Amino acid sequence: PVGNYYHGADYKFDLTPADQKRTEFRKITQAAQKGITVLFSDCLGAERPGFTPSEEMLTQNFEKTMRESQGKVFVTTNSSNVSRLNQAIEAAEKLNRKVCFVGRSIIKVKQIAQKLGYLHIKRGTEIQIEAIPRYKSNQVMLLVAGSQGQENSAMTRIAGGEYNAIKLQPSDMVIFSADPIPGNELAVSSLVDAIAKKGATVINSDSGSGSYHVSGHGSSGDHMLLISLTQPKFLLPISGTYRHMIAYRNLGEKMNYKRNQIFLIENGQEVLLNAQQAKMGKKIEVKNVYVDEVSGEELESYVIRDRERLAQEGVLILLVEIKASNGQLASKPEVIMRGTSLSESREELTKYLQKEIAKALSNQKGNVTNRVYIRRVVGDVAERYIFKKFHSQPLVLPVVIEV
């Protein structure tokens, strides 16, 4: 009742795929015969002319590098790219190199893909990390997670020398079989530099050493072909930045779609759809939501603010004993500091706070015995002084004890 919608996620038309799973054009045209209201299409490669190249060439390049390398060969790629993993494994097995998977995400993908029959590893090929030192360097190939330079990923940790059994050597080669995702360029560049400092050879799209990555995103020719096959009433590009959406819109206009038939949307933008028409709705405010890693609960803004202060300025805990009878100081405040730059000023800080807190409490009219109120007074005195004297803003936690 509300139309038929074709969702073209990351795709390309590869006529010679490495896994031999070819595009089923007949099924696409069958879907089109029912009438497609909206085509939701990947657009990340819309600026590239022609068609995205085939994966077929990569297996030969992997084999060539592993044959020429006198050391270990590291292949880092998107962990979910099972076809690419198969290509690297096939090349390693031809040259009698053992294969080791490094990184939680790539090991998880390997286990699932093997269970489903998508990943093929001969018996005796795979070894565990601790077994690597038992083999010569030119007998090992490692498939490593972290091609995007993610912090704490396996490839980053290897570059940092954090694995006892895996050490980068000048004879080693590291193949980046993935291009940086937009926004990750600096992280990947930093990772490449860290690897280069270890003396290993880096092979990526900038090295001019042949192709070791083919995009999984279609180019302009792929997009125009899918539009021709599906014949949708409306086009809605997804999975790209705004400039990629504009490039996709230009392709649609070349194919005689009018601008009001092509929707460029950002997060929060409604599109109202039915079988006959599509139109823009209202804009809904969207925002990042922080979730606690342990509990899974949403974190309020004040919690995030406190955590930022803890990370940047540390914490200062004030243990203050007050007389239950009148709310005045019973003893000298105790100052506990963690992660601050004020440690050398502890004695000066303690003396000042004792004097100022006593003065602040004595200035209150009547006997003040409300611990919440006293905590606020103590915290205000400490925060004002520390910022004025040291230009620092640690998280101040007053602890008030009645005696």
Tell me, yes or no, whether 260 and 191 share the same domain: no
SS (H, E, C) the chain: CCCCEEEECCCCCCCCCCCCCCCCHHHHHHHHHCCCCEEEEECCCCCCCCCCCCCHHHHHHHHHHHHHCCCCEEEECCCCCHHHHHHHHHHHHHCCCEEEEECHHHHHHHHHHHHHCCCCCCCCCECCHHHHHHCCHHHEEEEECCCCCCCCCHHHHHHCCCCCCCCCCCCCEEEECCCCCCCCHHHHHHHHHHHHHCCCEEECCCCCCCCCCCCCCCCHHHHHHHHHHHCCCEEEEECCCHHHHHHHHHHHHHCCCCHHHECCCCCCEEEEECCCCEEEEEECCCCCCCECCCCCCECCHHHHHHHHHHHHHCEEEEEEEECCCCCCECCCCEEEEECCCCHHHHHHHHHHHHHHHHHHHHCCCCCCCCHHHHHHHHHHHHHHHHHHHHCCCCEEEEEEEEC
The whole domain housing 181 covers: 56-203
In a domain, 290, yes or no: no
In a domain, 375, yes or no: yes
> What tokens does 289 get?
């939501």
Please tell me the distance from the alpha carbon of residue 278 to that of residue 272, in angstroms, as a whole number.
6
Please tell me the distance from the alpha carbon of residue 59 to that of residue 18, in angstroms, as a whole number.
8
Apex 173 CA angle, 170 and 177, nearest 5: 155
Tell me, yes or no, whether 370 and 310 share the same domain: yes
| CATH code, domain with 108 | 3.40.50.10710
Tell me, yes or no, whether 110 and 40 share the same domain: no
Tell me, yes or no, whether 227 and 191 share the same domain: no
Tell me, yes or no, whether 47 and 33 share the same domain: yes
Tell me, yes or no, whether 99 and 236 share the same domain: no
Please tell me the distance from the alpha carbon of residue 218 to that of residue 214, in angstroms, as a whole number.
10
| CATH code, domain with 396 | 3.10.20.580
pLDDT in the model for residue 208: 56
Tell me, yes or no, whether 142 and 14 share the same domain: no
Residuewise pLDDT in 10s, the chain (403 residues): 588 999 988 899 988 887 788 899 999 999 999 999 999 999 999 999 999 988 887 888 899 999 999 999 999 999 998 989 999 999 999 999 999 999 999 999 999 999 999 999 999 999 999 999 999 999 999 999 999 999 999 999 999 999 999 999 999 999 999 888 878 999 999 999 999 999 999 998 766 555 778 888 999 999 999 999 999 999 999 988 999 999 999 999 999 999 999 999 999 999 998 888 888 999 999 988 889 888 888 988 889 988 898 999 999 998 988 888 877 778 888 888 888 888 777 788 888 888 888 888 777 665 556 778 888 888 998 899 889 888 889 999 999 888 8
In a domain, 108, yes or no: yes
In a domain, 210, yes or no: no
Apex 120 CA angle, 115 and 123, nearest 5: 95
In a domain, 194, yes or no: yes
pLDDT in the model for residue 353: 82
Instruction: Examine the fold and report which residue of 203, 224, 244 is the final residue of a domain before the chain moves on.
Output: 203
Instruction: Examine the fold and report which residue of 203, 235, 260 is the final residue of a domain before the chain moves on.
Output: 203
212, 176 in Cβ contact below 8 A?
Answer: yes
In a domain, 133, yes or no: yes
pLDDT in the model for residue 143: 98
In a domain, 288, yes or no: no
pLDDT in the model for residue 18: 76
Please tell me the total count of domains within the chain: 3
Tell me, yes or no, whether 347 and 366 share the same domain: yes
Tell me, yes or no, whether 329 and 271 share the same domain: no
Instruction: Examine the fold and report which residue of 177, 203, 229 is the final residue of a domain before the chain moves on.
Output: 203
Count of CB atoms within 10 A of residue 7's CB?
A: 12
Tell me, yes or no, whether 159 and 88 share the same domain: yes
Tell me, yes or no, whether 273 and 305 share the same domain: no
| CATH code, domain with 267 | 3.60.15.10
Tell me, yes or no, whether 70 and 199 share the same domain: yes
In a domain, 208, yes or no: no
